[in-house]
Amino acid sequence: MQATKKTRVRYLILFMLFLVTTINYADRATISIAGSSLQKDLGIDAVTLGYIFSAFGWAYVLGQIPGGWLLDRFGSKKVYAFSIFTWSLFTVLQGFVGYMPVANAIVALFMLRFMVGFAEAPSFPGNARIVAAWFPTAERGTASAIFNSAQYFATVLFAPLMGWIVHAWGWEHVFIVMGVLGIGFSAVWLKLVYNPKEHPMIGAQELEYIEKNGGLVDMDKPRAAGVASGPKWGYIKQLLSSRMMLGVYLGQYCINAITYFFLTWFPVYLVQERGMSILKAGIIASLPAICGFIGGVLGGVISDHLLRRGNSLTFARKAPIVIGLLLSTTMVICNYVDAEWMVVGIMALAFFGKGLGALGWAVVSDTSPKQIAGLSGGMFNTFGNIASITTPIIIGYIISATGSFKWALVYVGANALVAVFSYLVIVGPIKRIELRDVPADEAAPKPAELASSRH
């Protein structure tokens, strides 16, 4: 570690989080850009496509608590690098399902999407964990908003590119190109990402600044001998008994319902409901995403500004969330307009609002107990990403039953209102949870559980 030079290595770490989250969301969105062509080639209906869209979510949810525990047990750097490499490999393999008989291709595509979801499970708990380690409290809202806004940047950057690849080369090549990119990035991650106290480029002044202002710089210090190494089941019970955390979990579920509409059905909506070509839909889908990106960064900046001006942490986090989600309900107006430019403009406003209000990960960094920051992020993401399962399937059934997207937009808008209610009524004051000690037999799995987990 450099002793005297003034450094800002935390911004390099944030840049890496932004890049990896961009790739993460681009790999999630491959299926939506390829969806319309894939549906035609494989001859599948809206309900089947909805289930394929949801495959990612089933595994992503199941992997959250194990993924969070792995982060706490082995540290963010190694677990995250393995995660990037693995999900990228499964993305590449999706490019080859078209060579199978149709029935087998559908099953294989579902299973590979499932494996992508499982491999990506540690990603956002890892992001929140790294932000909690590298950033002081008053910078955490902006840092969380920046990595979270990468989901919109992924659409801005890759939706037109992926639309062009589908148009020029076929849907299979989208998966291959994006997967190879992720595999390459996993090597870059290992080279540049470390814990604060271990990073070869950090100066003593920056480390002291982070540590004195709320950064959890010793989060990944080696465990003492004899410390329980399994998931803290007693601690999980404490999180689930917190009214604040239950409100945050419900809010994130509803926010993610909006996210997964845009990640899965939105390009299909543009093609099938609005009559756009795949190439045009890929370009148009990027425009609301630009507004989402701006809103996402702005939400964090406003929140941290309110905090520095002396407002409570509760007000500073909740104000952008409530205002943003109320704006996102405007997407329902699309049901009453015909002009393409109006549809795009309204969706852009709704996506801007969703970005402004997407401060859930900042709240997790503010509230998670230091001992189980990864596990706490995993719990949060488990509840939030149940929406990645339910939203694509529910919308698929709505379209199948009604023949249009009108009630699908109403469903997504209603989720935004429920999230507002949750933050205003259920969450209460936002503060870091102090864990009570738990009995040793609750701190880790029992020997029989450990034995069975090895098989």
> What does the pLDDT read at residue 218?
72
Planar angle of CA 313, 233, 120, nearest 5 degrees: 70
The rounded distance, in Å, linking the Cα atoms of 432 and 421 is 22
Q: Are 442 and 234 in contact (CB under 8 A)?
A: yes
Residue type, 337: V
> What does the pLDDT read at residue 267?
75
Q: Are 383 and 252 in contact (CB under 8 A)?
A: yes
> What does the pLDDT read at residue 220?
65
> What does the pLDDT read at residue 451?
34
- List Cα–Cα distances, 221 to 72, 102, 360, 372, 449, in angstroms: 10, 50, 26, 13, 26
The tens place of each residue's pLDDT in the chain, 455 residues long, gives 444 567 888 899 999 999 999 998 888 777 767 766 776 777 777 777 778 777 888 888 888 888 888 888 888 888 999 999 999 999 999 888 777 776 787 888 888 989 999 899 888 888 888 888 888 888 888 888 888 888 778 877 887 788 788 778 877 788 888 899 999 999 999 998 888 888 888 888 888 888 888 777 776 665 544 444 445 677 778 888 888 989 999 999 999 999 888 877 887 788 777 777 766 777 777 788 888 889 988 998 999 899 889 899 899 999 999 999 999 999 999 889 888 788 888 988 998 999 899 888 788 878 888 777 777 887 888 888 888 888 888 998 898 888 888 899 999 999 999 999 999 999 988 888 877 765 544 444 443 333 333 33
Residues 6 or more apart whose CB falls under 8 angstroms from that of 281 comprise 36, 163, 267, 270, 271
> What does the pLDDT read at residue 27?
81
**Crossing angle for the helix pair 123-134 and 360-367, to the nearest 10 degrees:** 60
> What does the pLDDT read at residue 5?
65
Residues 6 or more apart whose CB falls under 8 angstroms from that of 418 comprise 250, 254
> What does the pLDDT read at residue 298?
92
> What does the pLDDT read at residue 4?
52
> What does the pLDDT read at residue 19?
92
Residue 80, H or E segment: helix 76-94
Residue type, 243: R
Domain 9-216+229-453 in CATH 1.20.1250.20? The answer is yes
What tokens does 10 get?
A: 């935390």
Q: Are 246 and 116 in contact (CB under 8 A)?
A: no
Least Cα distance to 198 among 421, 31, 1, 402 occurs for 1
